[in-house]
A and B are shown apart, each in its own frame.
Chain A
Amino acid sequence: MTISLKPNNSPSEKLQPTGWLKYLSFSLDHKVIGLQYLICGFLFYLVGGSLAGAIRVELISPLSDFMPREVYNQVLTLHGTIMIFLWIVPVVNGAFGNYLIPFYVGARDMAFPRLNAVAFWLIPPSGLMLITSYFINGAAQSGWTAYPPLSITTPAAGQIIWILSVLLLGGSSIFGGINFIATILKLRRPGLKLMQLPMYCWAMLGTSILVVLSTPVLAGTLILLSFDIVAHTGFFNPSLGGNVIVYQHLFWFYSHPAVYIMVLPAFGLVSEILPIHSRKPLFGYTTMVFSIMGIVVLGLVVWAHHMFTSGTPPWMRLFFTIATAFIAVPTGIKFFNWVATLWGGKISLNAAMLFSCGFIINFVLGGITGVALAQVPFDVHVHDTYFVVAHFHYIVYGGSVFVIFSSIYHWFPKFTGKMLNENLGRFHFIITFIGFNLCFAPQHWLGLNGMPRRVAEYDPQFQLINQISSVGALLMAISTLPFLWNIFQSILYGDDAGNNPWDALTPEWLTSSPPPVENWEGEAPLVLEPYGYGEKDSNNTQEEMK
């Protein structure tokens, strides 16, 4: 198969609108699609965040007094679904993947530009449909896991809309995954070897393999669940002979890898950001690649650790304990390598760097509690409690969302040609970091001491800790304001960024900011050393590392 790097001058391409209108169009340009993903995802983040705020307001007092209990369950279901399927997955994969991968492989666009546009344009209607289900007949209220029989016995309309929405979003993910695999493997610039690609390419390759292997299982499961709801079949309905545990196996076969679908790209993005702002090569490139693939393989065989209290047989618990705990090894390698990348660098303490380092600290805590949760005896006590809520948010907010902010600060000059205000960015980081830790760290204690998750009312002994948590959530909400102000202010009045404000070596910085439609005016540059920073230094720091 030969791939042409020539510009695509098809008639449809010429009819594309220009200016800001292109972001509302069915554009085929991977950069436009990437930013469409980012902006759309951020809007859904604001919705999901508002729902989180409503949850934290309800939990200020032990009684269910802020909203009706059914509504509370709808809110927590929508919050989880929106944050996962409409914010983190589309942004860490779709937004940055679309924007960066063609640059990194030296291509003018993704392998299948039209499929790419379809993948994005499935998202806004699915998300809107999900949100409007709240106003039609009440949204789904069985949590983002939609465990039957609860999902079968709650009002059908909201649940069916939820299923349809998640199916479409899953379809979008699969289209994206196929496109990334094809682009990375088949569209590489001649002369560019796999082991010369920037780390984000490897992260996206690993993630896309997970997406393509596991998302169809979720789709099939949800189709069967919809049959149970609409056609009264008995796949999962125990009153008709169905098995509720089978649903859990199938659901978690996707939904555990989904965690890696959210964090592996974040790992990749951090691996791009740290070397540039430390002015050092990425430490241990080869082990980083192997650790990504290790996480992919192990990520597919750990799903049943979500089911240690579901009555699984002992051997199964043991296997999944060991498999889950071993993910800490490749993950640990990555963390040590990042710290080694910082070591001996010339570190710029800008917002991108601070958010990436904040991610490392948060994720280490999330990882430690993850290893603890992998142990059956430990998990049995804290399963389905606020300990898990805390752990999960340390992984997906402290991990992925911190990296999303870091990436926005890092690539904003490329997106817009303007610099963001660094002082506002640092301020944004400080209140996000404090708010996040104030909100979620105390929840570990709540879980250990007896507060289950997904409750609108709780034992009054937990009130003070819940109030502290809610203050943290308020800080997180407030932290969005300097960020938004910074974005608008910088787009309108920001300093010109120039093509390469960070003096970076990865290919996207070797073109204009923002880049032209076909990425480069002339031939795509061949970058064989994307992390070729660092000065040969005879001082002792290098000796110390050895």
Chain B
Amino acid sequence: MPKLSAILTLTTSLILGIAGVWIAYNVDMLPVSASMNAPVYDELYRVLFIIGVILFIGMTALVIYSLIQFRRRPGETGDGIDLEGNISLEIFWTAVPAIVVLFVGLYSYDIYDRMGGMQPLMHDHSGQMDNQAERVWGGIGSGPIESSSKKNSSSLPIELTAMQFAFIFHYPKGDIISGELHVPVGKEISLKMESKDVIHAFWVPQFRLKQDVIPGQPTILNFTPTKTGNFPIVCAELCGPYHGGMRSNVIVDEQEDFETWLTENSKESI
């Protein structure tokens, strides 16, 4: 009997594991990925999803099975078995979550590092900030991701000012002010963000990036778009009555189209 139950447990765990992987690879709940950051994020998401599905289905099945299998039948009296503990079993289910959590933590640290989260801040990204003594915190992706910085010798600096209830973008090159963010595909963008009033948050779901825009404390967000198209910019931090309407767009163009836009809108060209 113990052998049979061990085989049953093993088979069930195997089926559960396969089901978890299958579900995670066949249920896609994320929007299009459009930045260099996004596929790295999606890797972590998938691992978390697999673990989550296995745990959730496993625990739910255990509870439902127990409720059905061990339910009190009509006319049945008396107690269940006198079982107060089992040291080896308790050590097992302390160790397993600890190992899983440690694995997830280390894996997500690796992802975080690959996204540039552990990189020192790049204070030279705009060429103007070196002399400023202001305190600048980086968002995730404040450093370059993988080899992007090698491909793009310098990032494109853009300044973002958030206010109730709009995002205003300023391009130092050409002194352009825009309500929409125009960026070239494949180029690293360095967004210096500051708020005029309350806390806002710059979020592009397709880039998997979000960073609060904080009054009195500039923040920097570096990212590299990988897909051309039009993606929403969403304010994610409650910022007042029209918070839900505080939306804009990021328009990712081919390099030439972006250059044309830049030239057409540049004050210097006018």
Which positions in A face B, CB cutoff 8 Å?
64, 68-70, 72-73, 141-143, 147, 149-150, 153-154, 238-239, 241-245, 278-287, 308-314, 317-318, 321-322, 325-326, 328-329, 332-333, 335-337, 339-340, 342-349, 353, 357, 360-361, 364-365, 368-369, 371-372, 375-378, 380-381, 383-385, 444-445, 448-450, 452-459, 531, 533-537, 539-546
Q: Is B56 an interface residue (CB 8 A)?
A: yes
Size of the B side of the interface (Cβ < 8 Å), in residues, is: 85
Chain A residue with Cβ nearest B241: A69
Tell me if B127 counts as interface (CB < 8 A to partner A). no
Contact partner, B238, options A147, A365, A383, A385, Cβ 8 Å: A147
B82: A residues at CB distance < 8 A: 280-281, 533-537
CB of B122 closer than 8 Å to a CB of A: no
Partner of A544 from B5, B30, B216 at Cβ < 8 Å: B5
16 contacts between A and B (CB under 8 A): A147-B198, A150-B199, A244-B214, A278-B80, A321-B108, A329-B94, A357-B67, A377-B108, A380-B211, A384-B210, A385-B236, A450-B232, A450-B234, A452-B234, A535-B79, A545-B83
What 0/1 readout, one digit per residue, does chain B (88-128) give for beta carbons within 8 Å of chain A? 11100110011001001100110110010110000000000
Please give, as numbers and ranges, the residues of chain A lying within 8 Å of B81 by CB-CB distance: 280, 344-345, 534-535, 537, 539, 541-542
Complex CA gap A544/B83 in Å reads 11
Complex: A332 Cα to B101 Cα, angstroms: 11
B residues less than 8 Å from A540 (CB atoms): 1
* Given known A-B contacts A318-B109, A347-B67, A450-B234, A444 and B29 have beta carbons under 8 A apart: yes
> When the two chains form the complex, which single residue of A286, A325, A348, A444 contacts B85, counting CB atoms closer than 8 Å?
A286
B101's partner among A239, A328, A369, A444 (CB-CB below 8 A) is: A328
Q: Does B25 contact A (CB under 8 A)?
A: no
Residues of chain B with a CB closer than 8 A to A368's CB: 51-52, 55-56
- Cβ 8 A contact of A376, one of B70, B117, B137, B244: B117
Partner of A372, one of B2, B52, B215: B52
Tally the A-B contacts, defined by beta carbons under 8 Å.
310
Cβ–Cβ contact B44 & A377, under 8 A: yes
Least CB distance, A524 to chain B, in whole angstroms: 25
Q: Taking the nearest CB of chain B, how far is it from the CB of A545, in angstroms?
A: 6
Nearest Cβ in chain A — how far from B115, in angstroms? 6
Interface string of B232-252 (1 = CB under 8 A from A): 101111111111110100000
CA distance A24 to B78 in the complex (A): 42
Residues of A within 8 A of B109 (CB): 318, 321
Residues of A within 8 A of B118 (CB): 314, 318
User: Cβ of B140 and Cβ of A365 under 8 Å apart?
Assistant: no
B199 touches A383 (CB 8 A): no
Report the minimum CB–CB distance from B75 to chain A (whole Å).
12
- Complex contact A365–B56 (CB within 8 A): yes
Q: CB within 8 Å of A: which of B135-179?
A: 137-140
Cβ-neighbour of A454 out of B66, B70, B93, B238 (below 8 A): B238
Question: Of all chain B residues, which has the CB nearest A149?
Answer: B198
- B78 touching A279 by the CB < 8 A rule? yes
* Contact indicator A147/B52 (Cβ below 8 Å): no
Q: Once the chains bind, are A313 and B93 in contact (CB under 8 Å)? A: no
- Partner of B209 from the list A378, A381, A454 (CB cut-off 8 Å) is A381
Inter-subunit contact A344/B83 (CB<8 Å) = yes
B59 within 8 A of A: yes
A326 vs B84: C-alpha distance when bound (angstroms): 26
Which of B30, B90, B108, B201 lies at the interface centre, i.e. has the most chain A CB atoms within 10 A of its CB?
A: B108
| CA of A345 to CA of B1, assembled, Å | 20
Tell me if B67 and A381 are in contact (CB < 8 A): no
Kindly provide the distance from the CB of A204 to the nearest chain B CB, expressed in whole angstroms: 22
Is B256 part of the binding interface, using a Cβ–Cβ cutoff of 8 Å?
Answer: no
* Least distance between B25 CB and chain A CB atoms (Å): 16
CA distance A384 to B234 in the complex (A): 11
Asked if B205 is at the interface of the complex by the 8 Å CB criterion, the answer is yes
Q: Kindly provide the distance from the CB of A60 to the nearest chain B CB, expressed in whole angstroms.
A: 14
Bound complex: CA of A365 vs CA of B51, how far in Å? Answer: 12
Give the most central of A336, A344, A371, A377: most B CB within 10 Å: A377
Interface assignment of B86: CB less than 8 Å from any CB of chain A: yes
Sorted nearest first, the 5 A-B pairs with minimum C-beta distance are A238-B216, A534-B82, A455-B244, A311-B137, A345-B80
Q: Is B230 an interface residue (CB 8 A)?
A: no
A357–B70 alpha-carbon span in the complex (Å)? 14
**A-B contacts besides A346-B70, A378-B41, 13 pairs, CB < 8 Å:** A147-B238, A150-B198, A309-B140, A326-B101, A340-B86, A344-B70, A347-B67, A348-B71, A371-B48, A375-B112, A381-B41, A455-B244, A546-B88
